[in-house]
Structure 1
Amino acid sequence: MSKFFKKLKLLLLIVGTSIILGACEDKNENNPRRTLDPNEKVNTWIKDVMDEVYLWLESMRQPVALTSEPELYFESLLNRPTDRFSVIYPDYQELINQLQGVSLEAGYEILLARESETNNNIVAFVTYVKKGSPAEQAGVKRGDRIERINGERLTFDSYIRLLGNRSENHSITFFRYNNEAAAFQAQPAVSLTVTEIAEDPNFLDTIYQVNNEKIGYVVYHFFAPGTDNRYDNRMDQIFAEFQTEGIDHLILDFRYNGGGFVSSAINLASLIAPNVTSNDVFSKRLFNSFLMQFENFQNVETKFRSKSENLGSQLQGNRIYILTSRRTASASELIINGLKPYMDVVIIGDITTGKNVGSVPIEDEDDPDNKYGLLPIIFKDADKNGQSEFSEGFLPNIQGVELRNQNRLLPFGDTDELLLKLALDRIKGVQQAGARLKTFDIEIIGSSFENKAHYGKMVDMDPSIKTILKRKNQ
């Protein structure tokens, strides 16, 4: 039942009983109303929201007690395991900040792997270091192999607890690969402070010249417009430079891109798809059975933007190369799916996460004491032809897996780095690129990316959706 009907029913009840309540006022002076438990207020709001917007409305589960902790109450409603991504945050504003890449940390991301099948040791490989962060200032680099945090060895028994220390000031003991010795060598331990970092997702852009052809390369870590759209504007500048330089090929590196804002995905796709305008469909959107009763939630389409920096028409073979891993998710997959009807998308790396559904951040605008923020799954996206079957992930055209096919992480932009080399080989016409890759006995068991607010998220901040929801409930 929508809030509109609930409010109407409540209004009728109040009018119908006002005379009785007035007559009994003196008798009830010694029977004050029960004070509503704070959790009940929050959980009632959660249930009202989910009853209207949750994509799997018919499969929503019976909740636990209304007095339960809101995190537990919200979790009890979800259609697990189908729904892998709905989440609740204790603070809405903190959620928004994290989605924009603002967080308290030392500034380095990691992949976790077993050291060997013969012991319980865990090693953490640094995947990248954020610019201007304490980690960068301390000299930490991509490819460094961390074995100890605060002097204690990472093992199966300790690594979860020790990784929790990364949110506070901590020290790391690590090894760095020495090319001359062809081995990892111990480095002096470093102490790292944590600070608030506003991460720019535009990590690297460069141009290579191979066989008289120019290849543009962009490393993009998550989708966020930034304050005053500064991150989207920077991406526009990158493509304007590529356009001016006359690049013939484009490589997008999404290997660590777990998603983010739909608006930034549309912006990037609009720079790539050939000759698209604001009249062309990027994606189509489906909502639950309740919302689909309303006209504003029927036949919803997102359109490309007309961008003067678009360079799609100059790409050879109408083709783009996208580097992926199992951490490539959500808005990254939306880009892949949305571009496929318009051009040849060559995927190089590992199978992607598989997330074709999205969220809208929701706060309780009527109760300032309720700080919680919700990110429930409320829509499913498809391409312009209605194709949306990538919930199991996109399979690569050329497979290559970091640490499994190359036992160390080379710097981004190094032409010998595994995934970039596979893409360059494909562009150069190397036959069976990746067919003879080495395989190393390294088992990846996790990463720091899964803990990021934007990981696995396809977030729409379009105010029209919230306006429609609010208007419908008045």
Structure 2
Amino acid sequence: MQQPTTWGTLLLMSLFFLSCSKDKELVIPGTVSPNADADVPVQDFMWKAMNFWYFWQEEVPDLADDRFVNTPEGRDAYTAFLQSEEDPGQFFDNKLLFTEDRFSYYNPDYRELTNALAGISRSNGLEFGLVGVANSESVFGYVRYIVPNSDAAGKDINRGDIFSGVNGTPLTRSNFRELLFGEEATYTLNMATLVNNVVVPNDFEVTLTKEEALSENPVFLSKSFEIGGASIGYLMYNQFTNEYDNDLYNAVQNLKASGITDLVLDLRYNPGGSVNTTRLLGSMIYDTNPENLFLRKRYNAKVQDELEDSQLEVYFTDRLGGRTIESLGLDQVYVLTSAASASASELLINCLEPYIDVVHIGDVTRGKNEFSTTLVDDRTNSYLYTPSRVNQINPENQWAIQPLLGRNENADGFFDYTDGLTPDIPLKEDLANLGILGEANEPLLARAIQEITGATGKRSTHVEIPIDPLSNSKQFKILGERMVDDTNYGTQ
């Protein structure tokens, strides 16, 4: 007697074609009863997309290829499973995610997600860290930087300022999410001052309003220094956002034109983003030889087995759109990090390591070594979000999911840094002395300059109040700490 065909088997029997060209096609045909689609289209889309693409698909029993057989009884069981959670978000979180997954997420509107990938968000322009007071429920915030041309840019608030409450309510571990990242567009920060290294509220207040569609250029600072006979370039880059690749390249070229011999790359507030932009920046720093491997992708076994090496390997590049990349050609780079440096920031460090000396200065990074892509209900395009196909997305389902698809390993095969990348020169930021970004005496930049010039012993590296952040403003943005694989498909 013939055995029932499982939906997973049907998926594997489908045509699977993935090319590295822009005209790539990858086909995963639908295999589930139309009744399931009609009753719960969002959950149906989520299950099918996750069953194929999810990195931990084999580890989640409800995503198993043989979980639901393609029989009338099996289809009924599948429909009942989809209906077990009325809220699609709860269905995604409770039924489809692996317990070790810290970063997969969803959004009811794919447009909000894709805007975030382009650096557009609802924000007041205040970027801050949050610190929990030891042996206490209390929390306070400190300003990291202000986004230019934002609401905060026009207010009396600056890097290093401290706040301990919102709308008259003291911040705690249990309320800071609601107070700072809730639906209210406007809030008032209750400011504070350091007194004998203790955060003490004062009477000063700053009212800020979140703006819709605020666009942040991640190329925050770019300048050069002539110090101790060295020509040092400094670049603060705050998100791997592919919409600003040309701005990034222009900044690097300006540094090259100034004749720099050393580069300090500041990624301490960079939570990640585009994998392709990471490859571009690596090429700008090191070399543009397209025969040098930048990374190799590791998907789940089902996807991995179907792909050729040419579809898994990503190389350095000599092209940015229609432009030829002129690399800095460095054999050493100094990278500044914090505990908020994540995802594509860590990927850049890891993928440059086999080729050049990466001098890592700062704090242990976040440990986000998985990549994702945006999946939508475009079933003839294998659920992959493609800008030119937005009219093909199911009009009855505008949800998007951003699941982890795999991990990237460098040319040496290393990828295991879930505990973060440990710096060569440990140095936490100092709440008592954050310094001015881009100034030669700012503590982390000063330490890099000291390493470059060999001026050891001339500067104290004592940290009076080391910052161990509880959270930060970027963690609660839609893109958050994500590494988005756009090297072959999706958001490019």
With normalisation by structure 2, the TM-score equals 0.80
Q: Distance in 2 between matches of 1:53 and 1:157?
A: 35
The residue type equivalent to 1:394 in the other structure is L
Q: Indicate conservation of the 8 Å contact 1:352/1:393, yes or no.
A: yes
Is 2:403 the partner of 1:376? yes
CA spacing shift, 1:42–1:242, aligned 2, 3 Å: same
Q: Distance in 1 between matches of 2:476 and 2:261?
A: 37
> Which deviations, in whole Å up to 9, do the C-alpha atoms of 1:91-131 show, x marking residues without a partner?
111101112221112111111123564x5432110111111
Of 293, 312, 321, the match for 1:300: 312
Of 189, 195, 200, the match for 2:205: 189
Residue aligning to 1:62: 62
CA spacing shift, 1:443–1:258, aligned 2, 3 Å: closer
Residue aligning to 1:137: 154
Q: Which moved more, 1:191-200 or 1:336-345?
A: 191-200
SS at match of 2:156: coil
> Which deviations, in whole Å up to 9, do the C-alpha atoms of 1:430-451 show, x marking residues without a partner?
4379985234376532222211
Is 2:258 the partner of 1:242? no
Is 2:401 the partner of 1:399? no
CA spacing shift, 1:41–1:428, aligned 2, 3 Å: same
Q: Distance in 1 between matches of 2:476 and 2:357?
A: 32
The residue type equivalent to 2:168 in the other structure is G
Q: Which moved more, 1:428-437 or 1:45-54?
A: 428-437
Residue aligning to 2:300: 288
SS at match of 1:284: strand
Q: Distance in 2 between matches of 1:187 and 1:166?
A: 26
Of 71, 86, 93, the match for 2:89: 71
Tell me the CA shift for residue 465 of structure 1: 6.8
> Which deviations, in whole Å up to 9, do the C-alpha atoms of 1:56-102 show, x marking residues without a partner?
22102327941112112212344544222111111111101112221
Of 82, 103, 108, the match for 1:85: 103
Tell me the CA shift for residue 199 of structure 1: 0.8
Tell me the CA shift for residue 183 of structure 1: 10
Residue aligning to 2:245: 232
SS at match of 1:271: helix
With normalisation by structure 1, the TM-score equals 0.82
Q: Distance in 2 between matches of 1:428 and 1:436?
A: 16
SS at match of 1:200: coil
Residue aligning to 1:125: 142
Q: Distance in 2 between matches of 1:46 and 1:225?
A: 26
Q: Which moved more, 1:165-174 or 1:139-148?
A: 165-174
Of 481, 486, 490, the match for 1:456: 481
> Which deviations, in whole Å up to 9, do the C-alpha atoms of 1:313-347 show, x marking residues without a partner?
3x4xx210001111111111111111111100011
CA spacing shift, 1:10–1:95, aligned 2, 3 Å: closer
Q: Distance in 2 between matches of 1:148 and 1:9?
A: 51
Q: Indicate conservation of the 8 Å contact 1:222/1:454, yes or no.
A: no
SS at match of 1:62: helix
Residue aligning to 1:174: 191
Residue aligning to 1:320: 333
Q: Indicate conservation of the 8 Å contact 2:428/2:467, yes or no.
A: no
Of 258, 261, 267, the match for 2:274: 261
Tell me the CA shift for residue 46 of structure 1: 1.1
Of 102, 105, 109, the match for 2:120: 102
The residue type equivalent to 1:289 in the other structure is A
Q: Distance in 2 between matches of 1:113 and 1:72?
A: 29
Q: Distance in 2 between matches of 1:358 and 1:183?
A: 38
Residue aligning to 2:166: 149
Identity %: 28
> Which deviations, in whole Å up to 9, do the C-alpha atoms of 1:397-423 show, x marking residues without a partner?
0111123xx524222112232211211
CA spacing shift, 1:446–1:432, aligned 2, 3 Å: farther
Residue aligning to 1:409: 434
Q: Distance in 1 between matches of 2:362 and 2:191?
A: 27
SS at match of 2:217: coil
Residue aligning to 1:277: 289
CA spacing shift, 1:96–1:172, aligned 2, 3 Å: same
Q: Indicate conservation of the 8 Å contact 2:62/2:96, yes or no.
A: no
Residue aligning to 2:18: none
Tell me the CA shift for residue 213 of structure 1: 1.3
Tell me the CA shift for residue 464 of structure 1: 4.3
SS at match of 1:126: strand
CA spacing shift, 1:237–1:422, aligned 2, 3 Å: same
Q: Indicate conservation of the 8 Å contact 2:372/2:405, yes or no.
A: yes
Tell me the CA shift for residue 241 of structure 1: 1.1
In the TM superposition, 1:408-427 aligns within 5 A as 408-427=433-452
The residue type equivalent to 2:230 in the other structure is E
The residue type equivalent to 1:191 in the other structure is T
> Which deviations, in whole Å up to 9, do the C-alpha atoms of 1:19-54 show, x marking residues without a partner?
xxxxxxxxxxxxxx989775x221111111111111
Structure 1 vs Structure 2 CA RMSD: 3.1
Q: Indicate conservation of the 8 Å contact 1:362/1:374, yes or no.
A: yes
SS at match of 2:90: helix
Residue aligning to 2:67: none
Q: Indicate conservation of the 8 Å contact 1:329/1:455, yes or no.
A: no
Q: Indicate conservation of the 8 Å contact 1:60/1:78, yes or no.
A: yes
CA spacing shift, 1:255–1:94, aligned 2, 3 Å: same
Q: Which is greater in Rg? A: 1
Tell me the CA shift for residue 255 of structure 1: 0.6
Residue aligning to 2:69: none
Q: Indicate conservation of the 8 Å contact 1:243/1:309, yes or no.
A: no
Structure 1: which 5+ residue stretches go unaligned? 14-32, 468-474
In the TM superposition, 1:181-220 aligns within 5 A as 186=202, 188-196=204-212, 197-220=214-237
Residue aligning to 1:386: 413
Q: Indicate conservation of the 8 Å contact 1:205/1:218, yes or no.
A: yes
Q: Distance in 2 between matches of 1:239 and 1:363?
A: 35
Q: Distance in 2 between matches of 1:189 and 1:428?
A: 43
Q: Indicate conservation of the 8 Å contact 2:342/2:366, yes or no.
A: yes
The residue type equivalent to 2:108 in the other structure is P
